[in-house]
Chain A
Amino acid sequence: MEVIKVGMADLKTIKAPGVLTTLGLGSCVGIALYDKYNKVAGLAHIMLPSSKEIKNNENKAKFADTGIKLLIEKMIDEGAFKKNLIAKITGGSQMFSFNNNKNILKIGERNVLATKEELKKLNIKIISEDTGGNYGRTIELNAEDGSLLVKTIGHGTKVI
């Protein structure tokens, strides 16, 4: 079975049988989209909430807003229908904690919020999520059934 790795600020699609995986997700968010009728899966690994906040925004896969749109386009190219798509989201941890409220440390939380907003705007339902906390996650999205395996170090393994 084909396994494709999705790096940081990257996105990939796959048709069954196959698995998309992203390793060591921290404050970034992993957005898994799935069309169960056509068995097309897509995974984006975004780093920042919005492409509008900064100048250097050529890499669309880096941002929640542009990344999700691009992922949907690619999935449609692979034979998915937008109306069939459901979403599962993971990541958005806060790896280090301080008492102050510096924005940069809350980036995980902001990434999750921006992801939810964008999905809502696009009318894609989030059916499950495993976000927040202060630990990393490795995820595997199976194109056969859309299951998303979440592995951690010291915080268990689950399928969402």
Chain B
Amino acid sequence: MDVENLNSMMIDILKEIGNIGSGNAATALASMISKRVNMDVPQVRIMEFNDVARVLGGEEKLVVGIYFDLNDEVDGNIMFILDLESAINLTNILLNRTSKEDELDDMAISALSEVGNILASSYVNSLSALTGLKISISIPSLAIDMAGAILSVPAIQFGYVADQVLFIETIFEEGNNCVKGNLFLLPDMNSFEKILSSLGVL
């Protein structure tokens, strides 16, 4: 069982989890800021390591990564990546301000960690509800750095089994603020099989 062998049905299921998770995340975000939040259908993609950075705008592009540990019946990690522009738009939505700065202050970083927490929990809750598996997540760890460096973390984790990574891209919109978020769900291989078999596809 590895990422290359994911058949189209498995991909559909992961896509559906992404869909439900993103929907819950958008709802959580909307109720948090009391505004309407639109969401595009998430894209689930399987790509070569070296192509992923290109999607984010190149290896040296400054991005924000928010990383969580998954524990209990599923071991692994979940990670959100936002480009800096999206991160700033998101904090502007959250903090109800119109900062044109290209840097994130402490307030913004704290807000991003919190929203990351809510989004990750929404995904994990959907996954847990669909599979019936108990999954808990850790507190967030946030890093702002080059896309290549941040992506090395999920790439290495997938690297144990494949030369590709699987990720889910979600786009949220509120008014003129567009937020493009990339989610990497990184269960360890045993947990991955556990997830697929509890969904009845393995």
Interface residues, chain A, CB within 8 Å of chain B? 7-10, 23-28, 47-48, 53-54, 56, 59, 62, 93, 95-98, 100, 102, 104, 107, 134-138, 153
Contacts and interface: CB of A to CB of B under 8 A. Distances in A.
Contacts of A10: 50
19 contacts: A7-B50, A8-B49, A23-B53, A25-B149, A26-B148, A26-B151, A27-B152, A28-B155, A48-B156, A48-B159, A59-B163, A95-B152, A96-B143, A98-B138, A100-B69, A107-B156, A136-B145, A136-B152, A138-B148
A56 B156 contact: no
Contacts of A25: 148-149, 152
Contacts of B161: 54, 56
Interface of B: 2, 49-50, 53, 58-60, 62, 65, 67, 69, 77, 138, 141-143, 145-153, 155-157, 159-163
A56 B155 CA distance: 14
B88 to A, nearest CB: 16
Contact of A134 (B59, B143, B152): B143
A27 B156 contact: yes
A105 to B, nearest CB: 8
Contacts of B149: 24-27, 93, 95, 135-137
Contacts, number: 106
A106 B162 CA distance: 20
Contacts of A104: 77, 156-157
Contact of A9 (B53, B62, B145, B163): B163
Nearest to B161: A56
A40 B22 CA distance: 50
Contact of B59 (A24, A27, A59, A93): A24
Contacts of A97: 141
Given A53-B160, A93-B149, 20 more contacts: A7-B49, A8-B152, A10-B50, A25-B149, A26-B148, A28-B152, A28-B156, A47-B156, A56-B2, A95-B67, A96-B67, A96-B143, A96-B153, A100-B69, A102-B69, A104-B156, A104-B157, A136-B148, A136-B149, A138-B146
Contacts of A54: 160-161
B160 A48 contact: yes
Given A48-B156, A136-B146, A137-B149, A98 B60 contact: no
